[in-house]
Chains A and B, each alone.
Chain A
Amino acid sequence: MKLLNRDAPPEAVTFLRVWVFGLWLVELLIHPLGVLGEIPVSLLDPVGVLRAVPGDAWGPLLQPELLTALWVATLALCLLSVVGLWAKPTLLLTSVLLTVHQGLLRSFSFVNHAELSLLLGAYVLTLFALFGPRPPRRSVGEATTPGAGSAPLVTLAFLIALTYSLVALTRFANGRLDIFLSDSMTYWLVSRSHRGNLLTTAFGHLALTHLWLRPVMKGAFFVTTVVELLAPLALVLRWFRYVFLAFVIAFHVIVALFMNILFIEDLFLLVVFLDYRKTIAPLLARLRRFGDAALSRVRPPAAAAVGVETAGPDERASNLVVLKGRADSQPDT
């Protein structure tokens, strides 16, 4: 048994930061806050630290302009977090504002879990940037230190696995076997499929007419819960990691198609269950090569031949070597 990503290099932290805050950027772009100013205050039930705000203050605070300004600030900070500019204060402020953003959305509805794993990702990166060990600097040509970038990656994978385990444990404790044997699953399939979140009517309604679907879904529910309970083992057992990923991906897709519930962030966050050195780093290297090749194709041939104004220092050196090689190969005349 070997811990996944224990030997991740420092670049892994950069990758995770870009991945998590990149996903947040998309989230924020899809979810502006201004509209909350138009929702009846009677639906407001502040969550978390937002409960500290006095009731009378909400009226002036929930102005569309103010909410939009907050959204824009969060968006800008998220962008800085992706870029990695002023890392510590930026990450801290971004995490605070993301919490407020998510808290406000939930204050007008209910505390769902969709984006909360991603929020955990932001906290992990922020806390490690603020309090974690400084990654060792490396000079050009020096090999990366094994494990220097592992802590945030391993911690986030651990916390996500823990949340899966918590759901399963609570399901077994509260629902006992009744939750798997009763009509609960059929009820969820029928009611959620008619809600029309993703699909106007999701496939869950088929449980009304295709009775064989009921025991199949109940069985799948039980097996998935067992896999969720064992989720932390995915960090140390490679074969179980594949089983876990297959089950969780299938589970999220089926839940989306049959129950109209899509945990897209959780799907994207499964990347932390991949081996950084074996899977992600080679993929990134291939992407970089592809990008470089595309850039060199775009670059005007004259400029590429001269190689002075447009190329970086490394490229300039290689161009010089090429020119020197050409000069060397010229026959003396």
Chain B
Amino acid sequence: MGSQELLEIFKNEAEEIIQNLESALLTLEDNPDDETINNLFRYLHTMKGSSGIAGFGEVSEFAHHVESLADKIRSGELAVSSDIIDILLRAVDWFKAKIFDPESGYDFELNRQLILDDLASIGNHIPVKEKKEELNVFRIRIKFREDIFEYGTDPLILLEDLYVSSDEIVEWNVSKEKLPDLDQMDPQKVYLCWKMIVKTKLSEKEITDIFLFVKDDNDIDIADITDSYEEDDDIDIVNENNRLGDLLLKKGIVTEDELNSILQLQDYKNKKLGELIVEKGFATKKDLDKALQVQGKIRNKIESSTVRVDTHKLDNLMNLLGEIVIGQSAITRYADELDDDTGYSLKNALYGLDRITREFQEQIMSIRMIPIGPTFGQFKRFVRDSSHKLGKSIKLEITGEDTELDKTVVEKISDPLKHMIRNSIDHGIESSEERVAAGKSEEGTIYLDAYHREGNVYIEIKDDGRGLDRKRIREKAVDKGLLGKDEEISDSRLISFIFHPGFSTAQQAGEFSGRGVGMDVVKNNIEALRGSVDVSSEEGRGSVFKIKMPLTLAIIDGMLFRVGSSTYIVPLLSIVESIQPKKEEVQTIEGKGEVVLVRGKYISLLRLYDFFSEEPDNKNPWESLLIIVEADGRHMALMIDDLIGQQQIVIKSLDNIITNKKSVSGAAILGDGKVALILDVHGLVKDFSFEGVAK
């Protein structure tokens, strides 16, 4: 493995560790439970080891010092306090800058020293808790694959993690059986094997998690022998047969005959196996509870079997499937040309294949889906730090963190969300004094929520602040010439001015916002993800920003239509209707261009044949078809030759091939191998739309 590759692996891992560290620290501040403290320690330990391997010696050494403090918290020597959390968060910032932004101008040495000084001075805290006495006992057998170093993993880090996580080492045997003589050994291979019994406060899942990223490719057995340790050692939890009857049989609580009789009884009695066994007196309730506990542990072990997959591999798989769909469409076309009987049989077979490929597509898409929780989680730190800086008291409440959406969408939504949260902190939420004077609670709240509805994902950013100042928005819009002084305008249109470039109603530009740059960028970024953002606001009560996003960026339901000899696609969600106008409904308004009257309103008409330099069937709109599309609450009419039909489209990116990017968002390959451009309705509406009421 090359050092560049190793570095990439480390950076990916470090990003995750840093995110986990921040999240653990913020959780710890509110709720210093054992599990979070253990996690914090483990993340720091991993950071220390991984950074050392990747050549970040300073990070490794610094992590070592920070880990020591975490160890004191873990052992109960130190109480968690806001001061400690602050220092640890500063340490996390140091890691972040050192690994990802080493040229930032941040003074690493000075900050390192300041943090270390603070770590040292905090050493006089009072103990807060007694050590827990209840320990779990695990029997662990480990045999790493010989070439594990090639994957950028140092097994010693994992073993150290296990070692330090153990409260008592009962046995720790290292087998050197496979270790060759010095002159025969390849030092880049792993030969040693381990067998150990350890007592620890950690759960089986936590112990398993230490080996999370290696256990699928390596021979690692973890058996929870807590119940049988000292008494007997005959339950082999590694055997993943987790049926209750088998577990009771194995433990010698029921005999085979007793189990069989109960199983027969269960056939006609509508009762659970465990209930029947207790009812018949074959086992006590306590025996049953113990066996159920073991069953739960085995289930956890099975459920935690996961594997990491490079997203590029998933993208490739998706592309390949796209190619299969294209090939399938081509065969369907040929089937259409065949005689009745053969064509019918072939088409029937193709329908079956189509069902499977759709299911296949859904399965691949589901692999790409990840929960939004970690993205939401990173804002806890942001809200905490920003509100402290502004002297405001603000809490962040998160719901819907399990809501899943496409990985790419999750990655790209983070910045727009951050900006909107920043606006809420800076302008939305009032100071504590203002809030109390307004009869509100001293502490402001920002709510983040995510949920699925109608095949889309919705993300809401809500605050209980002062709400949007409509008077200021109107004044600013008039100042900027966006609105006539006495012009009447709908409330939603008025509010939508906040998304206009350079528009800010903030009296003073703050460190965080108010410079008139941002909300337009936010909106553009969301629209680039084929999403939209709605705002509602009540003065004195707060604002709600509702973002609507597609579940995935890779597939859309599209309407295919023809202009001249080419096929184009519009996302189905953007289409309102298709009409054939009357001649008198098509007019030209000076300065606004060609318009068409649709339901009492004039809307812009775009002749797509002109736009794409095609030779149309007809140049008169009233002899052609118009597709009425909508974006941001504004409509426009696209003049086309013919509608072809609906189809699920696998989007191919055009990168920079097409220069007029605002009107085209991508392309699709059709069944006949031809390419169809996908129109970007948001871009078109933005550039060409005019809407006016007919008089």
Query: Are A and B associated in one complex?
Result: no
Q: Which residues of A contact B (CB under 8 A)?
A: none
Q: Which residues of B contact A (CB under 8 A)?
A: none
